[in-house]
Amino acid sequence: MEPGTEVRTWLAPAKINLALHVIGQRADGYHLIDSLAVFTRFGDRLEIERAELDEFSVSGRYAAGLPLDGDNLVVKVRDALRREAGMQQGSPVAIRLEKNLPIASGVGGGSSDAAAALNGLARLWKLDIDDNSLARIGLSLGADLPMCLKSKPLIARGIGDEVSPLSAFPALGLVLVNPGIAVSTPDVFKALSSRDNEALPPLPKRLDFHTIRNWLETTRNDLEPAARSIEPAIGEALKALKKADAAFARMSGSGATCFGLFETGNVAKRAAIEIRARHPDWFVAATRSMEVSDGEA
């Protein structure tokens, strides 16, 4: 195929940890988690096409400061998948990343970019490779990658690598807010006061906006107190969401991005406009999470 004849665009959605319990620590230092995660319709975008030589470029609001060499997870994924496939199958590609999600912000942006690249390249190169093999390659580069490869509502356990997609989960109206700060995940884990907390309670049998909101009230993000002690602005983001009438607000992942739950997409959009007007320098995005219907998982 001639270079440039097939350009595919892949969404790298934001990963939102609706609840995240830290339930232990392995001997190698990795923390064990129990988390309910969803993925949003808003995220980064990757364009992938065949080329004469490998190329990688980044554009978008959060492009500045991202490495363009082998330190970037997208480049690491390309090279790892090519090693797996063999040079004959892994022909040169141009990858363009549109970076719409803040960096080091608790929404799995880098991992989601890498997962989109893994999925996209496996298809572009027409590799005979199953989901388990992709997850294995992904896990070698980051604990978040197996769940980002699924990018559907799921429960993640272990170090994030034991992924159980949910058979049904509704779309949720969300507003994502980041007060313009990056938080180091290792620093947050270091600041944890307890690493041995109880697991998530079982999900309600009937899943709708109200039952999920009520269930979330019985759960935690165990990383939130530690992150807030490092970066008090996280508290300001949560306050802004509550002031905009979020039905529920919490920090995602290791922060500093926080999410607010809203009953409809339109209510979420209005809340985002209100928060943006008060905090023009912040990252604010209204979106919906991806749903899964019975039998799709």
3-state class of 118 per DSSP? helix
269 is catalytic: no
d(C-alpha 187, C-alpha 226), whole Å: 9
For 135-200, the DSSP string reads HHHHHTT-TTHHHHHH-SSEEEETTTTEEEE-S-B---EEEEEE-S----HHHHHHT-S-S-PPPP
Q: What tokens does 146 get?
A: 């197996």
3-state class of 74 per DSSP? helix
Q: Which of 15, 76, 99, 152 is catalytic?
A: 15
Cα-based torsion angle of the residue sequence 263, 264, 266, 268 in order, rounded to the nearest 10 degrees: 50
15 is catalytic: yes
Q: Which of 34, 44, 113, 144 is catalytic?
A: 144
Contact (Cβ atoms closer than 8 angstroms) between residue 150 and residue 118: no
Enumerate the active-site residues.
15, 144
